[in-house]
């Protein structure tokens, strides 16, 4: 089962769980934010019929693999910092974790951070316009399949006052009725 929880306010090491006591969040709460989760047979994802069908159904035509580790990822420190800056994208962010463990943090309707723990076999999609960030856990290792509809664009749009009125953000707020919330 995938675990999600509200984060504590501590600003120490981002790779620690930062779980507020008694703060588990259900996947229904997470789904209400437009975040979807599937279990995928990660060992045979390349040939797995279900995974292929999911890709076809959702139109995820592009696929590559990213290995996030100090040794494997060029400019590792810079990239880790970039992933952990609060941002949104003009497109959905879809990942299947095939190695290691990572945390996808997403903002809930009241602007609180929910941390979603993803390990081997967890596939997650974050909707266009959701504020989020990513980090590995203390083991500093994640291997993930990245999916995309069409030609991939990974550019993060970091949160600022301007991004609140960004079209992708506005569409997100309308779709998930966050109107009136921060
Ligand atoms: C992003 O945009 O937040 C990422 O690509 C995260 C790293 S992929 C597991
Ligand atoms: Ni992102």
Q: What is the tens place of the pLDDT at every residue in 65-85?
A: 999 999 999 999 999 999 999
Q: Which atom of ligand 1 lies closest to the CA of 156?
A: 2
Ligand 1: residues with CB < 6 A are: 66, 83, 93, 95, 102, 134, 142, 144, 154, 156
CA 112 to chain centre: 15
Looking at ligand 1, which residue's alpha carbon is closest to its atom 9? 144
Dmax (CA) of the chain: 45
Ligand nearest to the CA of 143: 1
Q: Which atom of ligand 1 lies closest to the CA of 132?
A: 3
Domains annotated for the chain, with CATH where assigned, are: 36-175 (2.60.120.10)
Ligand nearest to the CA of 118: 1
Q: What is the mean pLDDT of the chain?
A: 94
Residue 25 vs residues 32, 97, 165, 181: alpha-carbon distances, Å: 12, 20, 28, 19
Counting Cα atoms < 13 Å in the Cβ hemisphere of 181 gives: 15
Q: Would you give per-residue pLDDT tens digits along the chain (182 residues)?
A: 799 999 999 999 999 999 988 799 999 999 999 999 999 998 999 899 989 998 999 999 999 999 999 999 999 999 999 999 999 999 999 999 999 999 999 999 999 999 999 999 999 999 999 999 999 999 999 999 999 999 999 999 999 999 999 999 999 999 998 765 55
Q: Report how far ligand 1's centroid is from the alpha carbon of 145 (Å).
A: 10
How far is it, in rounded angstroms, from Cα 27 to Cα 23? 13
Ligand nearest to the CA of 97: 1
How far is it, in rounded angstroms, from Cα 164 to Cα 168? 9
* Tens of pLDDT, residues 30-62: 999 999 999 999 899 989 998 999 899 999 999
Q: Report how far ligand 1's centroid is from the alpha carbon of 72 (Å).
A: 15
Looking at ligand 1, which residue's alpha carbon is closest to its atom 3? 83
Q: Which atom of ligand 1 lies closest to the CA of 66?
A: 8
């Amino acid at each position: 089962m995938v675990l999600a929880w509200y984060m504590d306010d501590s600003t120490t090491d981002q790779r620690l769980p930062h779980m507020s006591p008694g703060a588990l969040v259900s996947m229904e709460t997470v789904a209400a934010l437009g975040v979807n989760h599937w279990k995928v047979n990660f060992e045979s994802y390349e040939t797995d019929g279900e995974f292929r069908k999911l890709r076809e159904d959702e139109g995820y035509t592009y696929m590559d693999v990213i290995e996030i580790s100090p040794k494997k990822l060029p400019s590792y420190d810079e990239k880790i910092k970039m992933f952990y800056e609060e941002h949104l994208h003009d497109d959905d962010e879809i990942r299947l974790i095939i190695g290691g463990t990572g945390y996808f943090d997403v903002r809930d309707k009241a602007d609180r951070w929910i941390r979603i723990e993803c390990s081997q076999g967890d596939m997650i999609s974050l909707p266009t316009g959701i504020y989020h960030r990513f980090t590995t856990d203390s083991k500093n290792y994640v291997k993930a399949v990245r999916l995309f509809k069409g030609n991939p664009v990974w550019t993060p749009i970091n949160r600022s006052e301007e991004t609140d009125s960004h079209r992708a953000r506005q569409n997100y707020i309308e779709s998930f009725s966050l109107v009136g919330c921060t």
